[in-house]
Amino acid sequence: MRDAAIRDLKAVLAVARRRSFRAAAADLDMSTTALSHSIARLEAGLGVRLFHRTTRSVSLTGAGDSFVAQIAPAVADIDDAMEVVRAQRDTPAGMLRINASRVAGCEVIGPLVLEFLRRYPEMQVDLVTEERLVDIVAEGFDLGIRPAHLVPSDMIALSLGRPQRYAVVASPDYLRAHPMPRVPADLLAHECIRVRLPNGTPFRWQFERAGEVLHLDVRGRLVLDEADVARLAVLAGGMIGFFVEGSVLADIAAGRLIRVLEDWTPPRPGFSLYYAGRRNPSAGMAAFVALAREVARG
């Protein structure tokens, strides 16, 4: 059997991690066909199947599970050794993969991501925005950006500086037809948009004033898990919504939405950039973290 190329081993690890040829191919920046051929070639050389494949799922065989467990540390060591060498370059180069919530992505795209690409023309950034909180190491990301309180405790975190704030809003039409809420408990008499978190549990609206903290399970017939859809529903005039402030500031300024209970939504810790501890971070990753520190200092 010929020696397996490192790219073939990385292909196996990507499919094992993503449980999908299509998703793994996207991570590796190659076609699904090319990835399938790479896996088939390696399986033929080994004389054993590494994956069970159906039209709906991909899973490791027993041999595949053992193979992945043994090669993963070796491939990681090889990557670390290559990064040590790359770090000696004067100019960072390569791909940086970042996972962020949608709002966090909007916050950093200009001052951080685009500025990074401007400074380092040989770098590429793959920014994936999703509300699901992922394990950035297991899913092959270099960095994550989330609200500070959602950062896993075993990660190295860097505050991006800007505080985050919530906003409770309704349309002018809605408030003409309904009494203005004066305290959070008043919301229980209103039609509110209920929010479903990525893990399926309902989100309780969060309020605070003069040291009093409330978590309110509002009432409403509409449950959503996407802020953009919720914003459209509130703009249509039928209910009250709860948002990260940045999502609706333009609507408030234009008079399309009216803010209520503002004295109950004080600033909160903002977004954090986080990553796993590494002995030898890539030059690109080190440059991105350094830029984030610079931006956070203002």
Smallest CA-to-CA distance from 253 within 188, 162, 167, 156 is with 167
By percentage, how much of the chain surpasses pLDDT 70?
95
Residue 193 maps to a domain: yes
For position 193, what pLDDT does the model report? Answer: 96
Residue 1 maps to a domain: no
Domain of 292: which CATH number? 3.40.190.10
Where does the chain show beta strands of DSSP type E?
51-53, 58-60, 94-100, 123-129, 143-147, 156-159, 166-170, 193-196, 202-203, 205-209, 212-216, 222-224, 241-244, 258-260, 271-275
Average pLDDT, the chain: 88
Domain of 66: which CATH number? 1.10.10.10
172 & 260 share domain: yes
Domain count, the chain: 3
Domain limits for position 50: 6-86
251 & 191 share domain: yes
137 & 207 share domain: no
List the strands of the sheet with 222-224, edge to edge: 202-203, 193-196, 222-224
Query: Of 50, 65, 86, which residue constitutes the final position of a domain?
Result: 86
158 & 171 share domain: no
Tokens matching residue 65: 């599970």
Task: Please list the ranges in the chain whose pLDDT falls under 70.
Answer: 1-4, 83-90, 278-280
Domain of 188: which CATH number? 3.40.190.290
